[in-house]
A = this chain, B = another copy of it.
Amino acid sequence: MGNTKTRTIKRLSPRQLEAVAGLFAALSEPSRLALLQALQSGPLAVHQLMETCRLKQANVSKHLGVLHQHRLVERKRKGPSIKYHIADPMVFALCELVCGKMERDAKCAAALFAPEI
């Protein structure tokens, strides 16, 4: 498996493409990203996430449901409430890659308007 900068391609079947797309879809809502971000510093209950993310209870619950379906978060009853926590830190790696790209793009766009071309 000598993959130093793997240029070899792992072709995905339509079925797999659908699954991958589904995971990206789960991450394609600002509210859900905000929830994940809030959970980054530790487990939180629904009512805490409501305040932190300024979302209604029903929406928090629904969004967490989506994230849970994709195994991005896990839940665990903790006394009277239910604490949610990050199930796969991979999401932060994903976000970091995306942010990096956007920074590069922004810098590139800014260069177009720079004093010296």
- CB within 8 Å of B: which residues of A? 6, 9-12, 14, 16-25, 27-30, 32-34, 37, 40-41, 71, 88, 90, 93-102, 104-105
Give the dominant DSSP class at A's interface: helix
For A40, give the chain B residue with the smallest CB separation.
B9
Q: Shortest distance in angstroms between A23's beta carbon and chain B's nearest beta carbon? A: 5
- Complex contact B21–A24 (CB within 8 A): no
Nearest CB in chain B: distance from A16 CB, A? 8
Contact across chains for A21 and B41 when beta carbons are under 8 A apart: no
Cα A77 to Cα B99 in complex, Å, equals: 30
A30 near B17 (CB under 8 angstroms)? yes
Contacts of A10 in B (CB 8 A): 96, 99
